[in-house]
Structure formats: structure tokens, C-alpha cells
């Protein structure tokens, strides 16, 4: 009688494990504060760093246009589980509007759609910017990654398709003119929340001023806790010949979770959390968590469990217990 083949995976031998590791890459975890150059896409930056670190999993914390440079947070390994917090964090931009020319994409890459001789004064630009503070409605640019019936808007726009994007609420914390080198250019600084498009602001400000204009230069100077002061260029990383030096510039997984109250747990509790088990909290730990959370949101139960400075799990504090929702498999000596 023929033997039935088992569907259960056979134990991996040393050679199998070696092949799997070679195929998947190394288990690197942490955040990299990358300064992306102009003319490189965010996807290209991820691919370069994946090869450079031989990392098994890499992502980014919010797309940065190819014609823009600046801060592009890169998530390795377990840090990819926190990408949403990077994308939702506060951001800062410095951009230049060139007056007199409007383009289809609202930047220097797009086809010219109209021109004019009208130039706004600095005072006029500042007055209009004041109308864009706080919670506003913004229609994203047609040249954006938003999906329309399953297709990217920028693909439809390049194909000449006629479509409209719905407006969405975005937060603008600050907007001001920081330079006007000549009548043709105005430099603006903006601090915004998630989902905000700089190109859409340039389009709308130009419309309100009765001018033509597009973004000729754009730099993202901050994403949450990632700023320009300690950002590192890809060229600098490529000059590093020692893997230890590459790992040394990575920031901890919890770098984007600064607003979430921390719970310091014991090694034994950390082991339980890594297995998805709920742990009991001592009363003074619960009180410390209550004191650290946002007083304006009493329903927020979220906390970050750490052990010896290493992120263990995100979860909810309920009735003196911590229930893990998202577990991080980060160990000392394995990664950042």
C-alpha cells in the first residue's frame, strides 16, 4: 500500500535554515532617519537600503515626492509594525512657490497649464496663509497616490482621464512666509498633520491670490521625532563598510511611539507578552500610566510595554491588566 504524504512541514536542517536566511535577509529592526535626495522615489530608497542592510523587511513612514528632498523615516523589521504612527505624526515642510507658471502636477515636473504676469506681495501671501490654519478641507492633487476605483490617481492623470478627488479634512498647525528672494519666488514653512499635501496648498494659495504658481522646491524637515539635525544621507551609509556601523545609526522601534505612555515590565512578564499572554500590573504601575496618558482622552487605554529599553508590545490597560495587541520580536544583540 502506498504511503500517504504528510502536509506537515518537515523540520528544517542547517542547510535549509541557511538557504532561508540568505533568501529572506537578516532580522534587522529599528528606524532610520534618512535624508532622501531629489530625483529618488521613496520606493527606490527602500530598495537601496534593503540591499545595503541585507534586511528581511523594510518600509517607509510616508511617501516623499521624487522632486522633494528631506526626511524619509525608514522602518526595518519589527519597526514596520509602527509605520502608521509615523504616517500619522506631525510634519514640517519648507517649500518655494514660483509665481507666473501653473503646472498640471503643481510642481516643476508637470506640464505647463497656464501663465501670467501677476506677482503677489509678501503681505498678500501672509494674509491668505492665515486662512489655512487649523482644521481645513483640502482636495488632494490629481497627481497623487490616492486610489480611484482601484487605480492610482497619478496613473489616471498621466493617461488624461477625467476624474475628481473628494476633499478631506487635514490639520495645519502653522504656516508662514520665511523668505521672498525676489518677486517670482516665495518661501513658506508649514507644520501639518497627516494626509496634508503641500502641492495642494500651493495650488489653492495661488488660486486665492489670483496668480499662477507651482512648487519649484520642496523639503520635508521633520516627521514626528525625526528631524534634519541627525538625518543621514544614503551616500554616507554606502560609505560604511562595517555592518555594526550601519546598525549603530538605527533608532529603537519605539521611536515613533513617543506619545504613548510607557510601562516598564519585568523579563518574565516580557516573555509572557511575547507569547501573547495578558499580564497583571502592580497598582503603582497603573497609576504611573494614568498620570502619563492624555488627560483629554479618558477612553484611551493604549500603552507600550518595554523591558530594559526594548519595545515588547503595544496593548490596552484594563482592570489592572495589560492585554497585548501588537507584539514586537526585538531582542538585545539582534538588532537596534
Catalytic site includes residue 239: no
Catalytic residue among 65, 69, 107, 272: 65
SS3 186: strand
How many whole angstroms separate alpha carbon 99 and alpha carbon 209? 11
Contacts of 330 (CB under 8 A, 6+ apart): 29, 77, 78, 253, 310, 311, 312
The partner residues of 80 in beta bridges, in order of sequence, read none
Q: What gap in Å lies between CA 173 and CA 182, rounded to an integer?
A: 27
* CA dihedral for 73, 135, 94, 209, sign (positive or negative): positive
Burial of 318 (0-12, 13-18, 19+ CB in 10 A): exposed
Active site residues: 65
Amino acid at each position: 500500500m502506498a504511503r500517504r504524504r504528510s502536509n506537515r512541514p518537515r523540520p528544517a536542517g542547517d542547510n535549509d535554515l541557511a538557504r532561508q536566511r540568505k533568501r529572506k535577509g537578516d532580522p534587522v529592526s529599528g528606524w532610520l532617519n534618512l535624508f532622501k535626495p531629489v530625483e529618488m522615489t521613496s520606493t527606490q530608497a527602500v530598495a537601496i537600503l534593503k540591499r545595503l542592510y541585507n534586511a528581511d523587511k523594510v518600509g517607509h513612514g510616508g511617501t516623499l515626492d521624487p522632486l522633494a528632498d528631506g526626511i524619509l523615516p525608514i522602518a526595518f523589521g519589527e519597526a514596520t509594525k509602527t509605520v502608521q504612527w509615523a504616517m500619522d505624526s506631525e510634519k514640517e515642510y519648507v517649500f518655494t512657490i514660483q509665481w507666473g507658471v501653473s503646472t498640471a502636477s503643481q510642481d516643476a515636473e508637470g506640464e505647463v497649464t497656464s501663465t501670467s504676469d501677476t506677482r503677489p506681495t509678501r503681505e498678500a501671501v501672509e494674509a491668505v496663509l492665515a486662512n489655512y490654519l487649523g482644521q481645513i478641507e483640502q482636495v488632494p492633487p490629481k497627481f497623487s497616490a490616492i486610489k480611484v476605483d482601484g487605480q492610482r490617481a497619478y496613473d489616471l492623470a498621466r493617461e488624461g482621464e477625467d476624474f475628481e478627488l473628494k476633499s478631506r479634512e487635514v490639520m495645519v498647525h502653522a504656516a508662514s512666509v520665511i523668505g521672498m528672494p525676489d518677486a517670482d519666488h516665495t518661501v513658506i514653512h508649514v507644520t501639518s498633520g497627516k494626509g496634508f499635501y503641500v502641492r495642494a496648498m500651493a495650488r489653492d494659495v495661488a488660486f486665492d491670490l489670483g496668480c499662477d504658481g507651482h512648487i519649484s522646491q520642496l523639503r520635508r524637515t521633520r516627521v514626528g521625532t525625526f528631524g534634519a539635525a541627525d538625518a543621514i544621507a544614503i551616500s554616507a551609509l554606502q560609505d560604511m563598510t562595517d555592518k555594526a556601523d550601519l546598525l549603530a545609526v538605527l533608532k529603537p522601534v519605539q521611536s515613533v511611539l513617543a506619545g504613548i505612555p510607557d510601562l516598564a515590565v519585568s523579563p518574565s512578564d516580557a516573555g509572557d507578552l511575547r507569547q501573547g499572554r495578558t499580564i497583571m500590573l502592580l497598582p503603582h504601575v497603573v497609576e504611573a500610566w494614568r498620570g502619563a496618558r492624555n488627560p483629554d482622552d479618558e477612553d484611551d487605554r493604549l500603552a507600550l510595554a518595554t523591558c530594559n529599553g526594548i519595545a515588547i508590545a503595544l496593548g490596552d490597560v484594563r482592570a489592572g491588566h495589560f492585554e497585548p495587541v501588537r507584539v514586537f520580536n526585538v531582542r538585545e544583540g539582534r538588532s537596534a
